[in-house]
Structure 1
Amino acid sequence: MEEWEILSTDSKLEKLCALHTDLTDAEVQLLKHVASSLQMHADLTDSYMFIDCQIKDSEYAIVVAEAFPKSNDSVYENSVVGKIVFDTFEPGVFYSFRKGKKSQIRHAVTQEGHTVEQNVVPIKNAMQQVIGVLIQEKKVDVPVVYQDERQPPLFGQESIEYVLGDKNDEMPAISNLLMEIFLLTDDEDKLIYANPVGVKFITEMSRTEEIRNMNIIDLLPFLKTVYDQPEDVFVFDLTVDRKNLIVKKVRLRKKDRLTGTLLIIQDITELRTKEKELKMKSVVIQEIHHRVKNNLQTVASLVRLQMRKGVSEESKSYFEDTLNRISSIASVYELILAKENADDDDVNLIELTEKICSTMVLNELHKKVNLIIRPNGNKILTSSRKAVSIALIVNELVQNSIKHAFPADMAGEISVIFYSTQDFLELHISDNGVGIKKPKSSLGLEIVHNLVVNDLNGEFRYLPEDRGTHAVITFPVSPEVSIFYEKEDIDSGG
């Protein structure tokens, strides 16, 4: 008997949560409060009550508390506290974990083979995050259906027997078509059936073709761990001879007598190999982003060095413009590298715009300019490729406003506003400065025009204003430009 098994209910719950979860002390106390009333609910409803918590860094869950009704006909013969719970066998539990919603299964089957009605309710903390699930299971009496031999068989029975194989000399057609390995052993663990994939697997792993009625442990010694598990239903991950396997064991019983064991084995070696390749690819992509960012910083340092060596006042502004452009592009890669997932190169346009604009305002501290950025409730994501184009566009237009809209000590305001319709995104950059009657041709405006037309497939224009300037960039929403969490769609009407 394990040490924790003799602990009190509260102590078991605390110890299991400390060993297997990342729950805080406050969250554990909340679970203890729920667990304190489990027995009362079990007796009141004649149901089996459980609390499951998700295991940290895992897709599995663990039973941390239970209460059985005082009944003679018990569904569970032994305590299941501390048992691992798998998604394959408890879909309702994991639905509630993922969705944070109640789930109900009217005919669930326990690992002991009893049919129960299962209700699952998520337990949430103060932040409305799911920290566990409360499970109620009530035994369902399934009536035995007797069939008159003179009557025809139940609908579809002959067809399903043909497909699965009803006689000893019939090979189940379904298992022949599946890539999973199906093995069936008798009550003495001797192999009595293997589908074609299974036969190939056993002969390769055991290096023998004499497999019929042989002890499965003698043929595949690594399965001893699986067979030694007392649970009737068990899932196990194995690595054997560079093969990654998921083994599902189901013990078959008839009137509580063991009649055999069914093994379903998935060879996920290729999947694991691809996962490793993807991880390596992620590392390479992240390294590329690092190098691009570092190279941009190197170029910026060279430009600053050239400026310190002395440039004319006429040329100085051109160097500063170049530095701002380099900084804008570098901002894209800084945001990507700040993410936990290296594969995700989508960039949040609102964050990008705030980063670019705040840098420019800080570089112009002598200017009395307020910067306003309005996302209008939108979370706008775009690919790194398009993000670089938008970064340069924002840089050029905001930079123009800072430089030319507010001469001398004139105070003012620059607004960067995002509007959206179902199909288009509009970026409005405006100021309340001195304004321009007709935009003059310049390198900056030429850059903006080319990027909008060629990279964004959009349109760039100025809107007439009584005061200041108002530039509008319109481009289509696409797989590379997506909008989420919109409070409302706003059409600029421009």
Structure 2
Amino acid sequence: MSETTLEQLCRLYTDLTDSDIRILEETAKTLPMYAELSDSYMFIDCMMKSSGQAVVVAEALPRTPEAAYKESVVGKIVFETFEPGVHYSHRTGKKSIRHRAITQEGKMVEQSVVPIRNDQHEVIGTLIMEAEIAGSFHKVNERPNISFGSKALGNLLADTFDDYPIVTDLLREIFLVTDAELRLVYANPAGVRFIHEMNEAEDIQNQSILTLLPFLAQILDHQEEVFISEVSVASKTLEVKKVKMHSKTNELKGILFIIQDLTELRTKEKELLMKSVVIKEIHHRVKNNLQTVASLLRLQMRKGFPAESKSHFEDTLNRIFSISSVYEMILANEHADEDDVDLIKLTRKIGSTIVLNDLNQKVDLIIEPNGNKILTSSRKAVSIALIVNELIQNSLKHAFPGELSGRIHVDFFSRKKFAELHIHDNGVGMAGAAYSLGLEIVHNLVVNDLAGEFSYKNVESGTYAAIAFPLSPEVVIHYEKTDSDR
């Protein structure tokens, strides 16, 4: 069975499942009937997986002598600027009824949009009904002209000026409208200021738009009815939207330009990028400095030291490695400006290295996330890394004397507003929690850095350490799964 056009477009542009596509295909079969019944244009749009725009995957047109669409728009991109109702319904799952929109061919239509849902009530597409706006409307009170060319704008957008209130005067975007000969016939206040800033001409009304703003020539070179491009002019970054305006006989009436100054936005983006680069460089330096300290300690160990000092050097090296692991994971993030650390991946990295380095023991390390993914800030991650290091080291040192084999379990739980980390072994256990520098480090980090609680649980065999700390903007659980008490 060959794929339909709808199926091909969905597989090419979207992440929809096979069952989602089947639902859309069944809906598409009804479009011709509704188009004839309502004398309207019917479409199905789906969100694209990468661009954030929508794509038309199906259409049905009524049999009318004058069509608003001269060509099929299946496969065309739907920009939010011109059809906001479509994107609104995709985002919110709500209907958008009788809103104005601009078609792919630059014509004004009245549009109603209804979301299409799958069996899980997820929005997988939108059903759109469009009717071309009629030429006669009831007359409304005339509104005062604030900027030049308001009547010309009304004539270009509709058959009578009174059909549309001139709201562009209130917008920050630059609105410019030309006639068919590219003479400037309308500019809102932002547009007037922009032209005077870019051109010293005093009289701009009815002047050639290319004389006033030569950079628009590259936009006009594109023959599409609706075209959007970002251009750089005189140290400014501009987003320019071009819409060709046609009469009902498909005669070109003029061109609408909507220009947005993105200079400040792009400048801030560059500043953020630079900040991200600087932060990443700092992380690199911290990691490298920690590795240098570790190298110096190893050098000292090779040069010789008292036998009773060996364990202290090894403990210090493991603590340095634990902190360094945090920065390695931050630097491995795809986005340089993110310093979130996956706590479970960090624990795997630290625990596995400690166990593998202890060649004298046969101990299995079992890490169980229990369906949770816990992200922490770098600051919290350093504390948790040291805690994990100390507790696993304690088990390796004291739970399995001689060559006794065993298991160390590390479990993560989520209970209401708390994250919990449990580390327990099946070793010989301990009569009581004797004082040690490692346990003091753990206690101080849990209480002071994590605002949590640290305790040992009574178990029949082995040792069971439990840590609980509250969730916060710096500690977030994803894919949360509530676990029953042990």
- With normalisation by structure 1, the TM-score equals 0.77
Aligned to 1:467: 461
Residue of 419, 425, 435 corresponding to 1:431: 425
| Aligned-partner Cα distance in 1 for 2:50–2:419 | 39
CA positional deviation for 1:118: 5.0
Aligned to 1:349: 343
CA positional deviation for 1:425: 2.2
| Aligned-partner Cα distance in 2 for 1:338–1:388 | 16
- With normalisation by structure 2, the TM-score equals 0.78
Unmatched segments (≥5 aa) in structure 1: 1-8, 124-128, 148-152
Decide whether aligned partners of structure 1 residues 411 and 95 sit closer, same or farther in structure 2, where only a CA change above 3 A counts: farther
- The 5-angstrom pairing of residues 310-349 of structure 1 reads 310-349=304-343
Aligned to 1:422: 416
Decide whether aligned partners of structure 1 residues 247 and 53 sit closer, same or farther in structure 2, where only a CA change above 3 A counts: same
Aligned to 1:198: 191
What amino acid does structure 1 have at the position aligned with 2:408?
I
Identity %: 55
Aligned to 1:248: 241
Whether 1:486 aligns to 2:484 is: no
CA positional deviation for 1:388: 0.3
Whether 1:364 aligns to 2:358 is: yes
| Aligned-partner Cα distance in 1 for 2:10–2:477 | 39
CA positional deviation for 1:278: 1.4
CA positional deviation for 1:404: 0.4
Residue of 280, 295, 303 corresponding to 1:301: 295
CA positional deviation for 1:223: 1.5
> What do residues 436-459 of structure 1 show as CA deviations (whole Å, max 9, x unaligned)?
222222211121122122211222
CA positional deviation for 1:358: 1.1
Residue of 102, 106, 113 corresponding to 2:108: 113
Decide whether aligned partners of structure 1 residues 360 and 468 sit closer, same or farther in structure 2, where only a CA change above 3 A counts: same
What amino acid does structure 1 have at the position aligned with 2:207?
M
Unmatched segments (≥5 aa) in structure 2: 154-164
Aligned to 2:390: 396
Decide whether aligned partners of structure 1 residues 413 and 92 sit closer, same or farther in structure 2, where only a CA change above 3 A counts: farther
Decide whether aligned partners of structure 1 residues 486 and 476 sit closer, same or farther in structure 2, where only a CA change above 3 A counts: same
- Of stretches 372-381 and 316-325 in structure 1, the one that deviates more from structure 2 is 372-381
Aligned residues of 1:39 and 1:68 also touching (Cα < 8 A): no
Decide whether aligned partners of structure 1 residues 140 and 180 sit closer, same or farther in structure 2, where only a CA change above 3 A counts: closer
Q: Secondary structure at the match of 2:108?
A: coil
> What do residues 208-260 of structure 1 show as CA deviations (whole Å, max 9, x unaligned)?
22212212121011123334544444322222122111122344455445544
CA positional deviation for 1:396: 0.3
Whether 1:454 aligns to 2:445 is: no
- The 5-angstrom pairing of residues 180-329 of structure 1 reads 180-253=173-246, 255-256=248-249, 258-329=252-323
What amino acid does structure 2 have at the position aligned with 1:236?
S
Decide whether aligned partners of structure 1 residues 379 and 224 sit closer, same or farther in structure 2, where only a CA change above 3 A counts: same
| Aligned-partner Cα distance in 2 for 1:366–1:447 | 26
What amino acid does structure 2 have at the position aligned with 1:178?
L
CA positional deviation for 1:57: 6.4
| Aligned-partner Cα distance in 1 for 2:133–2:238 | 37
- Of stretches 254-263 and 309-318 in structure 1, the one that deviates more from structure 2 is 254-263
- Of stretches 349-358 and 389-398 in structure 1, the one that deviates more from structure 2 is 349-358
Aligned residues of 2:392 and 2:423 also touching (Cα < 8 A): yes
Decide whether aligned partners of structure 1 residues 23 and 345 sit closer, same or farther in structure 2, where only a CA change above 3 A counts: same
What amino acid does structure 1 have at the position aligned with 2:285?
R
Decide whether aligned partners of structure 1 residues 34 and 436 sit closer, same or farther in structure 2, where only a CA change above 3 A counts: closer
Q: Secondary structure at the match of 1:223?
A: helix
What amino acid does structure 2 have at the position aligned with 1:324?
N
> What do residues 443-489 of structure 1 show as CA deviations (whole Å, max 9, x unaligned)?
11121122122211222222333432222222221111111211225
| Aligned-partner Cα distance in 1 for 2:255–2:456 | 75
- Of stretches 225-234 and 175-184 in structure 1, the one that deviates more from structure 2 is 225-234
- Of stretches 345-354 and 134-143 in structure 1, the one that deviates more from structure 2 is 134-143
Aligned residues of 1:163 and 1:174 also touching (Cα < 8 A): no
Aligned residues of 1:38 and 1:66 also touching (Cα < 8 A): no
CA positional deviation for 1:345: 0.6
| Aligned-partner Cα distance in 2 for 1:469–1:39 | 63
Residue of 362, 377, 402 corresponding to 1:408: 402
| Aligned-partner Cα distance in 2 for 1:87–1:173 | 21
CA positional deviation for 1:188: 3.5
- The 5-angstrom pairing of residues 115-194 of structure 1 reads 115-117=110-112, 139=131, 161=143, 175-194=168-187
Aligned to 2:381: 387
Q: Secondary structure at the match of 1:303?
A: helix
Aligned residues of 1:97 and 1:133 also touching (Cα < 8 A): yes
Aligned residues of 2:407 and 2:425 also touching (Cα < 8 A): yes
CA positional deviation for 1:56: 8.6
| Aligned-partner Cα distance in 2 for 1:483–1:164 | 54
CA positional deviation for 1:412: 2.5
Aligned residues of 2:347 and 2:388 also touching (Cα < 8 A): yes
What amino acid does structure 1 have at the position aligned with 2:336?
A
Aligned residues of 2:150 and 2:186 also touching (Cα < 8 A): no
| Aligned-partner Cα distance in 1 for 2:169–2:148 | 15
Aligned residues of 2:14 and 2:48 also touching (Cα < 8 A): no
Aligned to 1:6: none
What amino acid does structure 1 have at the position aligned with 2:471?
V
Residue of 437, 455, 462 corresponding to 1:443: 437
CA positional deviation for 1:430: 1.9
What amino acid does structure 2 have at the position aligned with 1:470?
Y
Aligned to 1:87: 80
Aligned residues of 1:97 and 1:122 also touching (Cα < 8 A): no
Q: Secondary structure at the match of 2:433?
A: coil
Whether 1:375 aligns to 2:391 is: no
| Aligned-partner Cα distance in 1 for 2:267–2:388 | 42
Aligned to 1:77: 70
Aligned-residue CA RMSD (Å): 4.3
> What do residues 242-282 of structure 1 show as CA deviations (whole Å, max 9, x unaligned)?
21111223444554455444332110011111111212222
Decide whether aligned partners of structure 1 residues 439 and 137 sit closer, same or farther in structure 2, where only a CA change above 3 A counts: same
Q: In the comparison of the two structures, how many residue pairs are matched?
A: 460
